[in-house]
Structure 1
Amino acid sequence: MGWSILLIPFLLFGFFILISSFFTVKQQTAAIIERFGRFLGVRNSGLRFKIPMVDRIAGRINLKIQQLDVLVETKTKDDVFVRLKISVQFQVLKEKVYDAFYKLENPHDQITSYVFDVVRAEVPKMKLDDVFERKDDIAIAVKQELNEAMVNYGYDIIKTLVTDIDPDVQVKAAMNRINAAEREKVAAEYEAEAERIKIVAKARAEAESKRLQGQGIADQRREIARGLEESVDVLNNVGINSQEASALIVVTQHYDTLQSIGEETNTNLILLPNSPQAGSNMLNDMIASFVASNQIGEEMKKTNAAKGITNKRRKKPTPPPPPTDSFDDDDSDGMDDVII
């Protein structure tokens, strides 16, 4: 009975030793085994064995792709302070787990330091607009610098991304005002162009309307003239001359106009002159003007005829000069001179 009581602690100790001899490693994880404080080996995923009380798990390293976000504040070439968010995606190389575990105390701090160094070396060379346009160049520069530095420590830089560019609040407001002003300028140009097109179209429409209106008035006057011509011919056939016929037509149109005005009840139109003797006065004035115009026409004809006769007399050709003899009539020398 006493032996059985003493055996129980040994059995429990043996069970504990057995359990502590085995351990598991998760997928995409590596376990670092040390024996008496010295590196023994790396254990990958699965069920693994170690000597209890001798070997121990010094640590575990994540082999998955990890991401580290670094917020960097720096100054651009045009003296604008800007904050950049750099996302670094990295992974521990399986063949360099030892270096990743033992060479770096805190890999995140190391990566952050390199990101700060590269960003603050590249961004001050660029203006603010160039930072937005060439953010890929910044990301490439950070990746190259990190790869050269971190590969010796067992880390592989997969990708670096500039995920955010945040200028100062006042600068951002100024940029928004500039953008709004540019858009308002473009909008004003489009509105002015639209207004110009409307004015041109309206002017063309008015010109076409005036042209058609003038054509209509011309056609109307042409038809009126034809009607007057026919009326004069009819009156000439009954013994009334052209002057009297024209005067009679004008007087008739005058009274027709008075009649059409009188038929309108709601009109403010007044025809002047509007006296009872207006028709006879108009007829007498027209006859007198016709007679005066005929007299003036006859005088102009006579004047033009007289001027024509005078011009003909002035243009009469002059006779040619008499011919000269080829012989010298002077016989003082007793000989006849002959021109050779």
Structure 2
Amino acid sequence: MNVSRVLLRNPDNLLKLSRSLRAYRTPRNLGINFVPERQAWVIERLGKFHAVLKPGLNFCIPFVDRIAYVQSLKEIAIDIPDQAAITSDNVVLQLNGVLFLKVMDAYKASYGVEDAEFAITQLAQTTMRSEIGKIPLDNVFKEREALNYSIVRAICKAAEPWGIECLRYEIRDIQLPSKIKDAMQMQVEAERRKRAAILESEGQRDAEIN
């Protein structure tokens, strides 16, 4: 799929791209370069990868070396947009979440994937749908923490060639179909009435005994 077409069809993706893992404008090589803390600059020499500059003072050859990529080494939070997922008992849910990740290898993050954030977002959505499809609706809420862990583990494995580590994932909102919501509410109310009837019956029995 052409990534540029996807971005043009969905303005949200274009906004995400502006905050991507290499959203910094690559600075010009002045020969003497100061790399800020928690950044890594990827240098190409005559069109080929040459080195990764670490924070501090660095020297490069003007007109020969080019600053090709600037990678942030800070922890980054990415919103995972709403998506549909089907549980093992065929209930359609709408879910979203937030993913926390970090670039561990600036070289891999620069050359391993065209747009790391877009790729990670797609991977997180695919993984969440896959994990939700393995469990019934009742377990989605009970096993929320286990779900988050499974998603993190799957993303870490898939994103390793990109030099990115998934630190944690949090399912934020889970929206149920209106019919399921109504059925659950009726079940809760029925349980309350049942408990109230039991308590009332026990109270009457105690009163008769006394």
TM-score (normalizing by structure 2): 0.77
Name the structure with the higher strand share. 2
Partner Cα distance (2:83, 2:141) in 1: 15
Structure 2 residue 139 is matched with structure 1 residue 121? no
Structure 2 residue 97 is matched with structure 1 residue 89? no
Give the letter for the 1:145 counterpart.
A
What's the counterpart of residue 190 of structure 1?
A: 199
Aligned counterparts, 1:152-231, within 5 A: 152-201=161-210
Distance apart, 1:37 and its partner CA: 2.2
Give the letter for the 2:120 counterpart.
I
What's the counterpart of residue 218 of structure 1?
A: none
Contact 1:82 1:168 in 2 (8 A): yes
Partner Cα distance (1:77, 1:54) in 2: 57
Gaps in structure 1 of 5+ consecutive residues: 1-18, 202-340
What's the counterpart of residue 60 of structure 2?
A: 50
SS in 2 for 1:20: coil
**Cα deviation 1:138-167 (Å, max 9, x = unaligned):** 222222221221112211122222233221
Structure 2 residue 116 is matched with structure 1 residue 107? yes
SS in 1 for 2:186: helix
SS in 2 for 1:53: coil
Structure 2 residue 172 is matched with structure 1 residue 136? no
Structure 2 residue 79 is matched with structure 1 residue 69? yes
Partner Cα distance (1:187, 1:80) in 2: 31
What's the counterpart of residue 39 of structure 1?
A: 49
Distance apart, 1:100 and its partner CA: 0.9
Distance apart, 1:49 and its partner CA: 2.4
Contact 1:114 1:145 in 2 (8 A): no
Partner Cα distance (1:135, 1:72) in 2: 17
RMSD: 2.0
**Cα deviation 1:235-281 (Å, max 9, x = unaligned):** xxxxxxxxxxxxxxxxxxxxxxxxxxxxxxxxxxxxxxxxxxxxxxx
Name the structure with the higher helix share. 1
SS in 2 for 1:57: strand
**Cα deviation 1:73-113 (Å, max 9, x = unaligned):** 111223221122233221111xx211111111111222222
What's the counterpart of residue 30 of structure 1?
A: 40
TM-score (normalizing by structure 1): 0.49
Structure 2 residue 101 is matched with structure 1 residue 59? no
What's the counterpart of residue 5 of structure 2?
A: none
Partner Cα distance (2:53, 2:178) in 1: 52
